[in-house]
Structure formats: C-alpha cells, structure tokens
RNA sequence: GGCCCGUUCGUCUAACGGUUAGGACUCUGGCCUCUCACGCCGGCAAUAGGGGUUCGAAUCCCCUACGGGUCACCA
C-alpha cells in the first residue's frame, strides 16, 4: 500500500508549491500566486516547492525552469528541494494507473476518437452536456485488437463533491454535472493533467494548494483521484486572476508579462512584490509592506474573492517610494544595469540624493543622471527661446568671470550657494533670473535638480566650460 | 448552453448587522519653490438593479443584470 508523503513523514508541516507549465518565462500573475504560496510556507516555517508541469513535452522545460529561477532570484524568493519535472516521473504515474486498474477503480476504454466525436455531436445536437457515456465502464467482453485503449477513472455517479476553499468558501458540486469517467492515461500511455497533479501534490506532501481560480473546476476531478488513491486532500485556495487595466483578461498586448521585463524597465523587485501582494489582498489600510511585514501579515484567507485589474500607476508610485527610501549604495548598484557607473564618482551621494525624488524608475534615474554628468550635446529649443535673451547671456558671462576669480572652495553645493548669492548681491540679481540660464548651460534644458546640486556635481572647471560653450554657441 | 465563481469611488481596497461608507493610486485646487519633482493641506468620486428578513442591510436570503472561469487523448 502506497501512502502519501505526508502520511509517510508523519508531519503536517505547511507545504506549498508553485507548479507552472513551461512557457519560457515567469508570468506576472504567476509571480503573485508564487509569492502567496511562498509567503504562506515561510510564515509557517514550512516548505515551498517548485514543480514543472511538462507532461506535454512540447517546450523546453529546462529553459523554463531556469527562467523561473532567475525571476525568483531577482525578487529574492527561494524554493526548497530540487525542481520536480513531471516528464521525469512517468514511471511513477504508471504505477498508480496500474494500481487503480488492479483495484477496479479505473478501466480501459476502447472507444475510438471518431466514435467519441460522433457521440459528442449527437449530445450537442440534443443540447446536452457533452460527456463520455461510460460505455466501457463495465466491459467484460473481448477487447478490439486494433485499438490502443485509454485508461479512464471510475468517477462517482450522482454524488456530491464538496470541499472548503480557503478563499471562495464552501464549494459543492454534483458529480453528474461536472465530470464523467475522465481519461487518466492517453492511448500512448502518457498520463493526463488532473491525474498527475493530484498524485504529485500528494506525494510532495502539499498541505496547502494555492493556485489560480481557473483551476477551481478542476478541483473536483482531482478530489476524485485523491479518493481513488486513498490520499489526504490538501487545503485549496483559489486566487482570482489579474485583469488588464480595462478589466479584461491580461494578454501580451497589455505590456509586460515576463517578470524580468520589469527589471528591464527599471522597477525594483520590492516594488513589484509590494504591488502584487496588495493586488487582491490587504491588511487594513496598509500600502507599504517590507518583506518581513509581508511575512508577518500575509494570510491567504483574506485574499479577495474577485478578480483585480492591473494598475500601472500604482506600481510606479510604489517604485518611486522604494527609490526614495533606498540606500545610496543600493541605487548605485541598480544603476549599473542601465550602464551608469558612478561608484567612483566623488559626488555620487549627491547625484543619488538629488535625483531620487524625481525618478519613477531606475531607468529614468540613469537617464537623468547622465544628462547631468555628460556635457549637453544639444539645447532644448523652447527653453533657449524662453530664457536665453541677450541679458541672460550677459549675466552668464559675468557669472563665469565671477567664478573664475572666486577663490573660496566651492565643490559642495553650499560653496556654490555662497558664491552665487554673493554674485547675485553684487549684481542685484534674483535667483529667478539666473537659475534657468544656468540650467540650460549645465544640462541643456530648463529642468534639473537644484542648481547648486547640479553645479556641485559637475564641478567648477566643467561648470565654466559648459557656460562658455553655451555662450560661444549662442553667438554663432 | 450546463456547472461554478464574482460585483463598494475610474483603479487597488477598508468597514462585529448600527461609520457623515474610510484609506491608497490617478485626476484636480492650493502651499512650498531657482525649474521639475518630492513633501504638506484640501477637492472630485462608490455599495450593479429589484425584492425580502430586521428597529436597523454594503454586510444575511431570493430574483434579475452584467462580468469571468470551466466543460479535450491541453495544462
């Protein structure tokens, strides 16, 4: 007698899993259910397992697993044990098929595909639900020689199948409404999804199955398998799906499906996680959750029952929040991915701190930093037209001359502030008259962080160079 | 079509059967200000509809409408 792993181990350690079919990348919705499973396992000091559902054998599941692990790594999630590939467990599944056959809980069905098609059409013509008519359930005759039979499970007839879903509540199905003697092994011997899922979930010792609610109506079928095999039935949580901003099903047209695309767009993993955990789940009014807070507060029981729409603005807001609060070192590290290397810059703190409240993504951050660090190659036309009249050029000229003869140290923003204020005082100028022309000279446009910060980042020598360059160009 | 699930501001959500139905994002008015942001103060905006039950319903029950899922030798 084979028993479930849970029974063998004699443990009730919380065990959850993420069981994607191999698509080549980790889907953003998949990450959410994975996160829920992960948090629930870790919160209860349990195990979080990864299984690839590749009974179909069409795609490269090794690549797929690698892509998922890469995404897990990016967001800081880890799974326990080795990855399980269903494609490598066919022998195991076969043992259970034989077992059910031997016990009379499953049987060979010799109906051909054509035969079944005819039957189905007849049913549909009569507006009946298409279903297998169990013609071979109690077959005792001589089987036809030329067909490879499928194996079907003897499903209960006119019975209620009930379970308590951790999210949706009490579920009750009538077996006749939703299932027939469904196939557990195809004519080529390959077992089917609902059969192997139940076996694996059981053998892997799953206590809590957290998955998309598109599986809700598969659950009764799996329960039939659990019961035929004498396995313990885990607790199910069916989490509603994610919709696009228009409330429709999420599809590739809606933008980033692959979790790693979020990295490419400059999102911080903690922002993505924070966004996802709050999408369909809440803890009072709290919006910001650190990893430890997620662990502390998450409970699948208060996941919402209804689908939620994906809202990119809120993700941006969260990302901005995490950028504002990240350490300087962290941001410098993240910027490397966008080809900006400022760890050796002697004004790196200033660069980071002057931009962190302005960037919604790390990518934007890098772009903004580059406009300050790199000498402008062009000047924004509108800004030039608006702010660079003859008088402004004159002021800039005086400003350069002043700086050249200004002897006090001024590499800090405060140094530039003292110098500039003195200059304004001497020439009876207002900051408004000076700031925009300086910005244009420094970054080529009328938008930048505080001019003192910008001047300090660029440094006295380059400040002079950039102003003189602008004046020169202006006179041409 | 059968079965199942769902429905609170545009969006994410809160609310022991008793709240002026709260918060967040977006949008928006103002303040701050060297620009842009950030920040701060304020504003717009919701219980799908109809019946019950109850002293009292967003909350419980029924019906309707509208969304969605699922009904394979896919997973």
Residue A121: the pLDDT is 82
- Specify the nucleotide whose C1' lies closest to residue A111 (CA): B73
Nucleotides, chain B, CB distance < 7 Å: 1-8, 10-14, 22-26, 33-39, 67-75
A164 is near strand B: CB distance < 7 Å: no
Burial track A13-43 (b if 16+ CB lie within 10 A, e otherwise)? ebbbbbbbbbeebbbbbbbbbbbbbbbbbbb
**How many whole angstroms separate alpha carbon A45 and alpha carbon A76?**
17
- Give chain A's mean pLDDT: 92
pLDDT tens profile A195-225: 999 999 999 999 999 999 999 999 999 999 9
Tens digit of pLDDT for each residue in A21-40?
A: 988 899 999 999 999 999 99
Q: Helices (DSSP H) in A204-347: which residue ranges?
A: 219-229, 259-264, 269-278, 291-297, 312-325, 328-336
Predicted confidence band at A11 (pLDDT cuts at 50, 70, 90)? Answer: low
A6: pLDDT strictly greater than 60: no
Query: pLDDT tens digits, residue range A393-412?
Result: 999 999 999 999 987 777 89
Give A64-105 as a 3 state SS string.
HHHHHHHHHHHHCCCCEEEEEEHHHCHHHHHHHHHHHHHCCC
Measure A356 CA to B36 C1' (Å). Answer: 13
pLDDT band, residue A4 (cuts 50/70/90): very low
A281 touches strand B (CB under 7 A): yes
Contact A369, A351 (CB under 8 A): yes
Contact between the CB of A442 and strand B at under 7 Å: no
Tell me the two tokens of residue A161: 């199948």
A183, pLDDT greater than 80: yes
SS3 at position A340: coil
Alpha helical stretches, state H, A301-450: 312-325, 328-336, 348-355, 362-373, 381-387, 390-404, 413-427, 431-443
**What does the pLDDT read at residue A12?**
78
**Contacts with A125 (C-beta within 8 Å, 6 or more apart), sequence order:** none
- The whole-number average pLDDT for the span A312-323 is 97
Which nucleotide in the DNA or RNA is closest to residue A307, CA to C1'?
Answer: B6
The angle subtended at Cα A154 by Cα A152 and Cα A158, nearest 5°, is 135
If you measure CA to C1', which residue is closest to nucleotide B24?
A287
Give the nucleotide nearest to A359 (CA→C1'): B37
Burial class (CB in 10 A: 0-12, 13-18, 19+), A134: middle
Q: What ipTM did this prediction achieve?
A: 0.95
Region A170-189 average pLDDT: 92
| Mean pLDDT in residue range A45-61 | 86
**What is the pLDDT at residue A8?**
45
Q: Considering only residues 170-229 of protein chain A, which place a Cβ less than 7 A from any atom of strand B?
A: 171-174, 177-178, 183, 186-188, 190, 192-194, 213-218
Predicted pLDDT at A7? 44
CA-to-C1' distance for A13 and B4, Å?
31
| Through-space separation of residue A289 CA and nucleotide B19 C1' in angstroms | 27
Q: How far is CA A66 from CA A12, A80, A100, A318, in A?
A: 30, 15, 35, 28
* C-alpha to C-alpha distance for A206 and A196, rounded to whole angstroms: 14
């Amino acid at each position: 007698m084979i028993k479930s792993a849970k029974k063998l181990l004699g443990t009730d350690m919380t065990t959850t899993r993420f069981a994607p079919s191999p698509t080549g990348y980790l889907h953003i919705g998949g990450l959410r259910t994975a996160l829920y499973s992960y948090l629930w396992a870790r919160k209860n000091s349990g195990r979080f397992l990864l299984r690839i559902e590749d009974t179909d054998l069409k795609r490269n599941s090794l690549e797929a697993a690698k892509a998922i692990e890469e995404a897990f790594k990016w967001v800081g999630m880890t799974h326990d044990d080795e990855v399980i590939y269903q494609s490598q467990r066919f022998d195991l599944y076969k043992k259970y098929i034989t077992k059910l056959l031997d016990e009379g809980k499953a049987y060979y069905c010799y109906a051909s595909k054509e035969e079944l098609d005819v039957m189905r059409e007849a049913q549909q013509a009569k507006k009946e639900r298409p279903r297998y008519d169990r013609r071979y359930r109690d077959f005792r005759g001589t089987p036809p020689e030329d067909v490879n039979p499928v194996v079907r499970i003897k499903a209960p007839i006119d019975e209620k199948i009930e379970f308590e879903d951790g999210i949706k509540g009490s579920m009750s199905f009538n077996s006749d409404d939703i299932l027939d003697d469904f196939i557990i092994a195809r004519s080529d011997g390959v077992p089917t999804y609902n059969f192997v899922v139940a076996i694996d979930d059981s053998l892997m010792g799953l206590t809590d199955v957290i998955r998309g609610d598109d599986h809700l109506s598969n659950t009764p079928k799996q329960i039939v398998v659990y019961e035929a095999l004498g396995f313990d039935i885990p607790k199910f949580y069916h989490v509603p799906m994610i919709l696009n901003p228009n409330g429709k099903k999420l599809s590739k047209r809606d933008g980033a499906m692959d979790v790693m695309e979020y990295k490419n767009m400059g999102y911080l993993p903690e922002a993505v996680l924070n966004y996802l955990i709050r999408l369909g789940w809440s803890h009072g009014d709290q919006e910001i959750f650190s990893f430890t807070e997620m662990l502390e507060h998450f409970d699948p029981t208060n996941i919402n029952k209804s689908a939620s729409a994906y809202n990119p603005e809120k993700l941006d807001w969260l990302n901005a929040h995490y950028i504002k609060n990240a350490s300087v070192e962290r941001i410098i590290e993240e910027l490397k991915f966008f080809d900006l290397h400022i760890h050796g810059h002697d004004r790196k703190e200033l660069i980071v701190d002057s931009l962190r409240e302005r960037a919604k993504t790390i990518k934007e951050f890098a772009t903004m930093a580059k406009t300050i660090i790199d000498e402008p190659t062009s000047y924004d036309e509108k800004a030039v037209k608006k702010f660079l009249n003859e008088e402004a050029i004159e002021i800039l000229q005086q400003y350069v001359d002043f700086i050249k003869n200004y002897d006090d140290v001024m590499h800090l923003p405060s140094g530039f502030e003292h110098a500039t204020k003195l200059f304004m005082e001497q020439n009876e100028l207002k900051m408004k008259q000076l700031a925009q022309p300086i910005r244009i000279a420094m970054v080529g446009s009328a938008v930048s962080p505080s001019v003192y910060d910008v001047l300090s980042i660029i440094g006295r020598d380059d400040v002079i160079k950039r102003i003189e360059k602008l004046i020169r160009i202006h006179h041409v």
